[in-house]
A and B are shown apart, each in its own frame.
Chain A
Amino acid sequence: MRFIRDDHLRAWLDRLAGEYDLVAPRDVDGHLLYRPVESSQNIVFDYERPELSAKDFLFPPSETLLRITRQADGVTMEEVLPQRQQVIFGLRPCDARGLLAIDALFIAREPVDTIYAYHRQRTTLVGLACPRMWEGCFCTSIGGAPDGTEGLDLLLTRHDDGYAVQVLSDKGAALAAQMALEERAGEPPPSERNAASVPLPPPADWPAWFNDPMWSRHGERCISCRACTYVCPTCRCFDVTDEVIHADTRGTLIERVRTWDACTSPNYRRIAGGHNPRAKKPDRIRNRFFCKFHYYPTDFGPTGCVGCGRCILVCPVNIDITEVLRDVAAHVEGRSSQ
């Protein structure tokens, strides 16, 4: 195996921090988050699952799509994109798979979302395998693994006095070329898996249960706080609005801003005349789960869930995605045994 010692890894990260926009697990007032870091000293190496996914750095919660300048002689529009290359270090494998799900819609399906594609192209993903699965995790039930490599450019796995390094792409190879790698005998053991698994009913099994009363049971307690979509690595709905940044006699500076949106918010489907076809909470909860397990895989390929379990931990009323999956699976099972 290729191997890097702790001290060499830190030196490599310190060099990256100078050349790239470096994002890594960081303690922010007691919250473990992917955040920009200035040196390896800011990085937490021993952590569980960051509280938020890494989508922030490719599909930011709020991002200027266009800077619009309006003056007497007309209007000009320009994109304001960061120039530096970006490295996300310490990415958990589930979060890399979350980006693959967003790619399937934003990049693989025409027209390409050029701004998201630009962020993807400028970013290298350096994964750090989870030694085991954490509270709420069910990645192995959704086709992933705590030490999965899908979507990553490099994967590091903790071993002895450093990390085993797997090079998974050309981008990864380019970064690894700057690492003080050594060859060592052996391989790190695979990460621990949870014994229990969650059923994943195939997309085609869902429509039969669209009008089932289970959606009232799961959805009535929803308080439409939208935390589930906020922490989700695959939720990608967005709103676009204008903000006036500055206005004076010479002209107006406007930013056209894309912000995260959530299908669980009450007015999501409200139309201009005021009609709202999804005014009821169970209908919105149903949409969220149908999107993840029926619409998204049917329309775009990947499942819209990577089993990170964040939405389970963050929900203030204990709506549990694994409970929904078990419920649908039990319905499917019940019908096929009839």
Chain B
Amino acid sequence: MSTNPLRPYLGRLVGKKDLATGIQMFQIELLEPEGQAAFADYRPGQFAFVSAFGAGEAPFGITSIPSRGPLLEFAINRVGHVTQALHSLEVGDPVGVRGPLGNWFPMDEIKGRNILILGGGIGGAPLRPVIHTILDNREDYGHMTILWAARSPDLLVFTDEYDTWRHAWATDFHVTVDQGDEHWTGNVGLITQLLEKLAPSPQNTVAITCGPPIMIHFVALTLQRLGFAPDQMLTTLEARMHCGIGKCGRCNLGEKFICVDGPVFWQHEIAGFLEGFL
């Protein structure tokens, strides 16, 4: 009998830190050779289920890349039963990991193009592997523009990396918040407003977006106004999946399953879907 695809690989939580209010970074070491082999070559945009044994498992975009080390990283927002349990874990505790699952950003196909990255809130998590891949293979890609956003300053993720991103070669980094606080001196407003203000050229550019559905929707409209064609826009969608292997039904968008047909889609694919994600 072949391996049960619903059995997670065993892992151990080896690092954990606060990223933002309610959001923590989890670093996981895989303990079994089968798990290490499965995750030897995962790609930017893929996801995995993380188990807090006794509470359950939930799917998360993997926010690390294998070329930077064997630890798997996940940025996890505390919003429900499983994520609450994950946040309660301590370094050294056992966890389960099932994956890698889904398709990935076509990092080879977009080589030589300028890259525009638009991340909103926890939606930045699956985009960090794209940024890291480009930074680590800088000569393979054109100019990189990063637009980063959150509802408020305390919800911005990966803040300790902003200086690196900002000062990287041929890279622009812009950040905005929907609402500032007494310490915030940067941009205030929606990511779409920042996008319109910066008006990046669509010339030889691919835009990669992740954020809440409403943001993905309006960013796509704004990009369209700026002259981006549907085959210049990539996004990654989410759903509260239960299997990740196209069986449980939870993530269907019409005849597509986000888990196996996605989570990464071109805008022209999304435009052709019978059912919308909004």
Contact = CB atoms under 8 A, between A and B. Distances in A.
Nearest to B4: A114
B276 A236 contact: no
Nearest to A238: B248
Contact of A65 (B4, B53, B77, B94): B4
Contact of B250 (A252, A258, A268): A268
Interface residues of B, number: 46
Given A114-B4, A273-B212, A74 B94 contact: yes
Nearest to B31: A74
A68 interface: yes
- B243, B250, B277, most chain A CB atoms within 10 A: B250
A190 interface: no
A74 B10 contact: yes
A106 B246 CA distance: 9
Interface stretch (B40-48, B66-74, B156-164, B234-242): B234-242
A70 interface: yes
- A112, A240, A258, A298, most chain B CB atoms within 10 A: A240
A174 interface: no
Interface string A100-118: 0000011001011111011
Contacts of B3: 114
Contact of B57 (A75, A240, A252, A299): A240
Nearest to A296: B255
B194 interface: no
A166 to B, nearest CB: 30
A287 B56 contact: no
B56 A277 contact: no
Interface string A110-138: 01111101100000000000000000000
Contact of A70 (B4, B94, B247, B249): B94
A214 interface: no
A60 B188 CA distance: 52
Nearest to B1: A114
Interface in B77-116: 77, 79-80, 83, 94, 96
Given A113-B247, A269-B250, A295-B254, A242 B238 contact: no
Contacts of A258: 6
B212 A236 contact: no
A270 interface: yes
Interface in A298-316: 298-299
B5 interface: yes
Interface string A201-232: 00000010010000000000000000000000
Contacts of A70: 53-54, 94
Given A272-B79, A287-B252, A299-B255, A210 B54 contact: no
- B5, B83, B213, B249, most chain A CB atoms within 10 A: B249
Contacts of B122: 273
Interface residues on A, range: 35 or more
A273 B278 CA distance: 13
Given A236-B249, A238-B249, A75 B274 contact: no
A24 to B, nearest CB: 28
B1 A106 contact: no
Given A70-B94, A75-B10, A207-B274, A261 B249 contact: yes
Nearest to B278: A277
B275 interface: yes
Interface string B2-19: 111111101000000000
B249 A263 contact: yes
A65 B98 CA distance: 14
A206 to B, nearest CB: 9
Given A70-B54, A242-B55, A261-B248, A77 B7 contact: yes
B229 interface: no
Nearest to B3: A114
B198 interface: no
Interface of B: 1-8, 10, 51, 53-58, 77, 79-80, 83, 94, 96, 122, 212-214, 238-240, 242-243, 245-250, 252-255, 274-278
Interface of A: 65-66, 68, 70, 74-75, 77, 79, 105-106, 109, 111-115, 117-118, 207, 210, 236-242, 244, 252, 254, 256, 258, 261, 263, 268-273, 275, 277, 287, 290-291, 294-295, 298-299
9 contacts: A114-B3, A115-B6, A239-B242, A242-B53, A269-B239, A272-B77, A273-B79, A275-B213, A277-B276
Q: Can you list the 6 inter-chain pairs with the closest CB atoms, starting with the nearest?
A: A237-B249, A295-B255, A111-B5, A242-B56, A75-B94, A114-B4
